[in-house]
Amino acid sequence: MATKVTRRTSLYGFPGPLTNAALEPIVAKRAPGANDKYEIGQVWVDTVGNATYTLTSFSAGAPVWTGGGGGSGDFDTLTVTQTLTLPGGINVTNVAPTVVTVGGSIQTTGGLITQSINCTSITATGAISTTTQNITSASGNIIATSGYVSGSSVATTGDEGSISGGITFTNVTNESLAAGTVTFNTTTANNSTNTGWMKVYVDADVRYIPYVTNIAP
């Protein structure tokens, strides 16, 4: 239900005979909506969401409520010009496409960086890092345009096709072997037979890398 517009209380006294009292915060069990119209500067406290909002302007007659620090808030677009550091994690999800843009770095010290199927992008000109958890994407890509992606292990779980100008690994293998032979050196003088083939893309071309179960037969 929408709340109605109220006016400031007038005070009489020093330094002038008539002055306006500060706006009292609105305390409610929900976030403000499009029908909650107040004076610019009105503060709204959502006790259920543990979040605060401030009415900063009107756009086409609709109030623009801006989330404050602490707690949580809902944002269609989040733009940070420096570094975004989160002690927990960042989970970008919404019913509409959401964009997170950071001019510096995105880093968490103990939580996940998660991109949901409805988030169009999470981008940073610096690093995107998490110290103890994972960076995941439910649908879409995680791309380093000019740097690198590093870790103790890199795992592929499918075959999404090729990337132009790059080498793309897949989880596709083929262990159907015939009598034909391909020669490559092992770490000893003994002969060995490859176990199967691992599919990769070089640019847009499919290539296969032979693999063995023992490099020192």
Angle of CA points 145, 149, 150, to nearest 5°: 160
Q: Where does 29-73 show beta strands of DSSP type E?
A: 43-46, 51-59, 62-67
Query: In the chain, what percentage of residues exceed pLDDT 70?
Result: 61
pLDDT in tens, 150-205: 777 778 888 888 888 888 889 898 888 887 877 777 778 877 788 889 999 999 99
Comparison of pLDDT for 139 and 27, the residue scoring more: 27
Q: Retrieve residue 45's tokens.
A: 């406290």
Q: What are the residue ranges spanned by the domains of the chain?
A: 10-67, 75-153, 155-217
Q: What is the mean pLDDT of the segment spanning 104-127?
A: 68
Q: Retrieve residue 179's tokens.
A: 């009598």
> Does residue 143 register a pLDDT over 90?
no
Kindly report whether the global pTM for this prediction surpasses the value 0.75.
no
Q: What is the mean pLDDT of the segment spanning 70-92?
A: 63
What distance in Å separates the CA atoms of residue 108 and residue 118, rounded to the nearest whole number?
21
Confidence of residue 10 (pLDDT cuts 50, 70, 90): low
* Residues in a beta bridge with 194: none
CA 157 and chain centroid, separation? 20
CB 45, CB 52: distance < 8 Å: yes
